[in-house]
Chain A
């Protein structure tokens, strides 16, 4: 048995090393040896001086932290209340709301930023409809934090609602039997038990905020507000490029995320959050009763700001004949959709490519992530310690830096054979970038599942593998499926790595939209975004409905 365990540990570790470890190593080598990409080790450390003489880098680091903290607070404001309500009560149309709040992940952040810009800027849609604009608000620190919050708050919503479903009413009921009030039970029992999941989701918000490029680039450059990632991107995208400088800047990002991760880990492990002991639980959620309408009002308000307005701005733009024509009926037509639906068009190829990549990425990340999480939480000895460290790696690397690392590694002269220049390189990149989701979701979930369930199965004669398959895996399934849906949604619109790595002749939805926007046809880009968002939403809705039909038996403890 020990043998099987060490084999799986080795497999998972190799996957992490190949997907993330080696690209990071090559980035570090590039940071130290400026000529490394040309196959030379000359001029070691000659670029490290950039770190010490660059005040701008420190300013960017300060801005990055400030923005990330603001977005975390914003996500709590937007995501926590509805997450709690969804987790504890029968909210009418619960599964529909789940899909609605997945939509922000389907909107590429830079497209969302452009949609808000076209809505709020002077003479934007708001002005055309209501006679005033909110350009001052949008083009400010608050505005950037606001738009980024709207991209990310669903992370908190999903994590909180899933965690509360797990904790359930049982512990709170016990507290109430012992005389606690409903609010007291919630704040003393239910909320603290959900802290690992909330902390995990906030950490993802933090990581995604500091590595987000599209929103600050679109909005913050108007106010001279720079963050680390825009600095790194500038070094990578402005010719002559500075691979070494970008690698150095990313070291600061890694440090920030590692610090956050350590904090989260400390919160999660300093006491036990086990809530799934296998004892019979009452799966029923509380009814809202007369509160149903105010609660629906809150959900509706969040959906209006977070989903309806940006989506409407994208839709309206995609149907506009000309931008300068404004909101007039005579200016609306389908002309920007026609080239997309033309048979065998590149837009269609891009949709298919992104679809397949997103599905494969979801399954691959769930498999690897679930395995890694299991070893981190349940493993023993050296394997666990190694895996604990390795599992942090994917989180600490911004997508754009991982993309460069992948180029440096997979395209290096030291490899005899490579997948560089093929579609597989994109899969490798997507999996590396999106692995943190399943790992975090599964780790947080596993910490809530008591190891004694496994032990009971083993005592009853089951092998470890059998216990894993029949006890732990079904208990992990809800988090893994939630993570897979997130991965699918984000992978289907991934941009940065796609631009850097897609082989010549291959397009994804993200690169197609981006190139449309770069060439000035905002409407075609918005039309393609609309189509992609519609298709992805439909698929996610179908999955959700299917899960509902399967009943909770297959996927809940």
Chain B
């Protein structure tokens, strides 16, 4: 991974560059988790982990642009479909960590395994003066006129998963719901953080389809936010972790995957308010078993991605 050049060595902007053993880790947020994992892993093994953290889109864009000359060893994305796709293109190394034993079967594969799991929920500002919403359909009511936001499914993979899930569970009624939300003045301001921000300040009252761990963390920081998971069901977004076939350092890469799935690593995952991938590690919040999870055929939904987003734009954003 380390390509030595005259420029690089004379350009001493970053420390730890000339370390003998390094691992390059590309990951979707949260960035605090990536740093914590990197530091704990380095303390345990002495291997330096160079972290690139961005949105799933940025991570995947970088991987694709670097395909002819890959840089990363280990990758965590926030989109399960991305791992499936990369595996089908033969880009992933096969590895099953001994620590993955307690990861539920549907969250692991010969070439990739979940790091943690988030779920989609309603994030509601408790000081908004609106009644507490209990169901997805509640937000189409008069009480929430002009007060609902939703992440853009074109930018937020999890929001896309939610639409696919609601369509699975409700059929065409899902589109009627989205249409009613749009008629009720729901805005689609951008990715997840852009949808949550107006709700924090009170410009809106609730996010339809918020990534739960972000809102849990904000609530823990003192914001008047409540995370509500509708009883009718929601979708979960497991975050796949995988080793690239092109890695030049498979021993360090497998050691890192083992570490993320160890007790210590999963505890760090839990600290971010995500659900740990291992069923035997407790999270800080309700786990998968306490949620009514809508099963989504990821591959089928992904194949229809363009159609679903086009229909969303037609029904909701009027683009």
Contact = CB atoms under 8 A, between A and B. Distances in A.
Interface of A: 37-39, 56, 114, 117-118, 121-124, 135, 217-218, 221-222, 224, 226, 234, 236-241, 243, 321-326, 346, 349, 352-353, 356-357, 404, 407-408, 411-413, 417-424, 427, 499-500, 502-506, 515-522
A168 to B, nearest CB: 43
Return the 5 tightest CB-CB contacts between A and B, nearest first.
A505-B50, A504-B50, A237-B57, A422-B8, A123-B202
Contacts of B317: 224
B201 A121 contact: yes
B54 A515 contact: yes
18 contacts: A118-B197, A123-B201, A224-B317, A236-B61, A237-B58, A237-B61, A241-B61, A243-B64, A323-B197, A404-B65, A407-B66, A420-B71, A421-B3, A424-B8, A515-B31, A516-B31, A520-B192, A520-B214
B62 interface: yes
Contacts of B203: 121-124, 135
Contacts of A124: 201, 203
A239 B57 contact: yes
Given A237-B61, A324-B225, A356-B13, 4 more contacts: A37-B65, A324-B224, A417-B5, A503-B52
Given A239-B157, A515-B54, A518-B55, A224 B318 contact: yes
A519 B189 contact: no
A243 B82 contact: no
B23 to A, nearest CB: 9
A346 B35 contact: yes
A222 B197 CA distance: 13
A553 B14 CA distance: 40
Contacts of A221: 152, 188-190, 194
A327 B318 CA distance: 35
Given A121-B203, A353-B13, A411 B58 contact: no
Contact of A500 (B29, B58, B127): B58
Contacts of B2: 421
Given A237-B57, A239-B56, A324-B202, A504 B25 contact: yes
B125 interface: yes
Nearest to A217: B190
B78 to A, nearest CB: 10
Interface string B1-15: 111010110010110
Given A239-B61, A322-B222, A504-B24, A420 B69 contact: yes
A239 B79 contact: yes
B109 interface: no
Contacts of B215: 520
Contacts of A517: 193
Nearest to B152: A221
A346 B157 CA distance: 28
Contacts of B60: 239-241
A211 B24 CA distance: 31
Interface residues of B, number: 77
Nearest to A219: B189
Contact of B125 (A224, A324, A499, A502): A324
B57 A504 contact: no
A422 B202 contact: no
Contacts of A122: 202-203
A351 to B, nearest CB: 12
A218 B194 contact: yes
B297 to A, nearest CB: 18
B57 A238 contact: yes
Contacts of B279: none
A348 to B, nearest CB: 12
B182 to A, nearest CB: 11
Contacts of A516: 31
Contacts of A217: 190
B196 interface: yes
Contacts of B32: 519
A505 B319 contact: no
Contacts of A412: 68-69
A114 B193 CA distance: 11
Given A221-B188, A222-B187, A418-B3, A506 B200 contact: no
Nearest to B79: A239
A118 B24 CA distance: 37
B169 interface: no
A421 B67 CA distance: 14
A124 B199 CA distance: 11
A325 B317 CA distance: 31
B220 to A, nearest CB: 11
Contact of A421 (B1, B29, B218, B222): B1
B156 to A, nearest CB: 10
A522 B221 CA distance: 12
Contact of B7 (A321, A424, A503, A515): A424
B265 to A, nearest CB: 19
A89 B51 CA distance: 53
B247 interface: no
A504 B5 contact: no
B208 interface: no
